[in-house]
Homo-oligomer: A and B are copies of this chain.
Amino acid sequence: MNILFIGDIVGRAGRRAVRTFLKDLIKDYKLDFVIANGENSAGGFGITKKVAEELYGYGIDFFTMGNHTWDNKDIFKFIDEDPKLIRPLNFPDNNPGRGWQTIEINSTKLTVVNLIGQVYMQGVDSPYHKFMKLYPEIEDSDIILVDFHAEATGEKMAFARAVDGLVTAVIGTHTHVQTNDAQIFPEGTAYITDVGLTGAVDSILGMKPDKMIEKMKNSLPVRYEVGTGRVKIEACLIKTDDQNNSVKQIMEIKKNNL
């Protein structure tokens, strides 16, 4: 099976990048399943039903979220109904939505789990323990993909090594910068520290540089705006063996327009 995981889609520019590049990626890599982190897809902050549907239309099959899950209140209206969007599992249990989902794709049982780190993030439970408590319920899946949304490289990698062999892949999100370390760990779990950014090329984390630079210079509050102009998609490809569902390859993907 060929799975694409797309890094945080930021605003209109990010959606344009998906529209521009995804169709070809689906064809070129014979993709069976496309996941994306959608926490910044609506104006940089959160997601709306309209934006989600626009992106489903471009070929995205599933969304994970992160610390920006609740930024746009529209999500409260549809998260409990949308079977293709999850939020971090280790958010408080009484939060709307779910933290994992099992999907059937050509008779392969695929489970996606969304987790968020605890380092520099407040109000969330242990991602490791929350995951291990869930594990017996999803263990019989053919493929398990984890979006681990976190700031600290060490926390991402420690989690991935802690579940090495239990899951198909741990894909890091949140920093909006793709890392150069896609690899398969000793027990077979595929890993990348951060899959990157889908949005404006001339940007800082997808937002217009000017306001971020201004903030660096004076620490005053600013209203960030989504970047414009050329766009890029950053993602990673995970290829699994159709016989035994083991990972055959994980590879960074990056496409710019000119």
Using a CB–CB distance below 8 Å, which chain A residues touch chain B?
70-71, 91-95, 118-120, 122-126, 128-129, 151-155, 157-159, 161-162, 175-181, 186, 193-194, 196, 202, 204-205, 209, 212-213, 215-221, 252, 254
Contacts and interface: CB of A to CB of B under 8 A. Distances in A.
A76 to B, nearest CB: 9
A94 B154 contact: no
Nearest to A202: B186
A219 B178 contact: no
Nearest to A207: B154
B220 A161 contact: no
A191 B190 CA distance: 28
A128 B180 contact: no
A95 B218 contact: yes
Contacts of A123: 118, 126, 219
A215 B93 contact: no
22 contacts: A92-B126, A92-B218, A92-B219, A94-B218, A95-B218, A118-B124, A123-B126, A124-B126, A125-B126, A125-B129, A151-B151, A153-B205, A157-B204, A158-B209, A161-B209, A161-B212, A162-B213, A162-B216, A162-B217, A177-B180, A177-B194, A186-B202
Contact of A125 (B120, B125, B178, B216): B125
Nearest to A203: B157
Contacts of A153: 175-177, 205
B154 A151 contact: no
Given A158-B204, A162-B213, A215-B158, A177 B176 contact: no
